[in-house]
Amino acid sequence: MITRDQVMERLATVMDPELHMPITDLGMVESVQVDGGRVQVGVKLTVAGCPLSTRIESDVTKAVSVLPEVTEVGVDLGVMTPEEREALAARLHPRRESVITAKDSKVRVVICGSGKGGVGKSTVTVNVAAALQSKGHAVGVLDADVYGFSVSRMLAARQQPVVLGDGVIVPVDVHDLRVMSMGMLVNEDTPVMWRGPMLHKLLDQFLNDVAWGDIEYLLIDAPPGTGDVAISLSQELPKARVVLVTTPQEAAARVAGRVAQMAAKVGQQVIGIVENMAYFRCPDCGEAHSIFGTGGAKRLARELNVPLLGQVPIDPVLPLGGDLGEPVVWKHPDSETAHVFQEVARAIVETDW
């Protein structure tokens, strides 16, 4: 005979795809009824219309179906009450103790910064995060470029995040990356017209009110320059490491150097430089052509005494993947471009934290 305890053991293997915890631990299992070989499971979703309800239903069915003598599995989907969501929020994020900003935080925070826009900083952030995830690490991605948000498109993460009781926000899951961006809160074409205090408040929410869970790395796509958000990040995350993104052009590298100077003043360590648009490799002859010049990133690396972590080529599949929400590291893992991002990820892992 099938017992309720046997069913609960199997349900404990079902992970909520957003919260990355067993549904039994999250209080999502409302009921279990066993009638001969038929098992009926009641599951409470965190919010009505949960976009991942079909996946949860499928996972529950598969988990219970492996039990001997089970002939049929039924799943009834309900919704948590506001009180149940508040209890869940308190369990996930007790006393607003952020895993990111806590003094004893074990999360390795990497800020991807640049002196100016248009150098591919968001592309680097997303693909390095994807490379870390592909190596088996638990990774979060925070789009702190509030005015120029693009991470949500680059990862096809356009659904709104779930908000539990007491304002606790659940980041959106994209192939096991936990993602938070302004692009999931407003229409993609909507301009954000905020002054400094509003930016700081939003950043504080992203860092402290988001239930990031047990991530190992948080990659932050910072806005270009040394303005309000950069200052707030330095105050909230003094132990964060910085990766500078620039193009080979001397002018771009010079501007990136200012970000390095700011990092030094606030005590953050620059761990390396990524040179984007470094060259174009001719598909016919295989020769590399330096379209945007050479030497800027290497010179800056020498001046700062940090490594040049990687030189990303001009690759047509790179911007295409960004528009389609398919990072090249996932879509073309064996490509020359993907290997560069994988090497950057390896260097971050090997950094002395």
Please say which residue of 80, 100, 132 terminates a domain. Answer: 80
User: Has residue 88 been placed in a domain?
Assistant: no
Q: What is the pLDDT of residue 188?
A: 83
Q: Are residues 116 and 39 in the same domain?
A: no
Average confidence (pLDDT) per 10 residues, the chain, 353 residues = 93 91 94 95 89 92 95 95 86 74 91 93 97 97 94 91 84 93 89 84 91 94 90 90 95 92 92 96 92 92 96 95 95 96 97 89
Q: What is the pLDDT of residue 124?
A: 97
Beta partners for residue 79, in sequence order: 45
Q: What is the pLDDT of residue 20?
A: 86
Q: What is the pLDDT of residue 17?
A: 87
Q: Are residues 168 and 259 in the same domain?
A: yes
Q: Are residues 119 and 72 in the same domain?
A: no
Give the closest residue to 273 by CA, choosing from 243, 304, 302. Answer: 243
**CATH at residue 37:** 3.30.300.130
Q: Are residues 201 and 316 in the same domain?
A: yes
Q: What is the pLDDT of residue 193?
A: 85
| CA 320 and chain centroid, separation | 20
User: Has residue 124 been placed in a domain?
Assistant: yes
Q: Are residues 147 and 223 in the same domain?
A: yes
User: Has residue 200 been placed in a domain?
Assistant: yes
Q: Are residues 128 and 238 in the same domain?
A: yes
Q: What is the pLDDT of residue 146?
A: 92
Q: Looking at the 3D structure of the chain, how many domains does it have?
A: 2
Give the number of other Cβ atoms within 10 Å of residue 324's Cβ.
13
User: Has residue 284 been placed in a domain?
Assistant: yes
Q: Are residues 27 and 175 in the same domain?
A: no
Q: What is the pLDDT of residue 190?
A: 87
Q: What is the pLDDT of residue 165?
A: 72
The domain containing residue 71 runs over which residues?
4-80
Q: Are residues 112 and 220 in the same domain?
A: yes
**CATH at residue 214:** 3.40.50.300
**Secondary structure of the chain as H, E, C letters:** CCCHHHHHHHHCCCECCCCCCECCCCCCEEEEEEECCEEEEEEEECCCCCCCHHHHHHHHHHHHHCCCCCCEEEEEEEECCHHHHHHHHHHHCHHHCCCCCCCCCCCEEEEEECCCCCCCHHHHHHHHHHHHHHCCCCEEEEECCCCCCCHHHHCCCCCCCEECHHHCEECEEECCEEEEEHHHCCCCCCCCCCCHHHHHHHHHHHHHCECCCCCCEEEEECCCCCCHHHHHHHHHCCCCEEEEEECCCHHHHHHHHHHHHHHHHHCCEEEEEEECCCCEECCCCCCEECCCCCCHHHHHHHHHCCCEEEECCCCCHHHHHHHHCCCHHHHCCCCHHHHHHHHHHHHHHCCCC
Cα–Cα distance for residue pair 188/198, rounded to 1 Å: 19
Q: What is the pLDDT of residue 12?
A: 96
Q: Are residues 59 and 173 in the same domain?
A: no
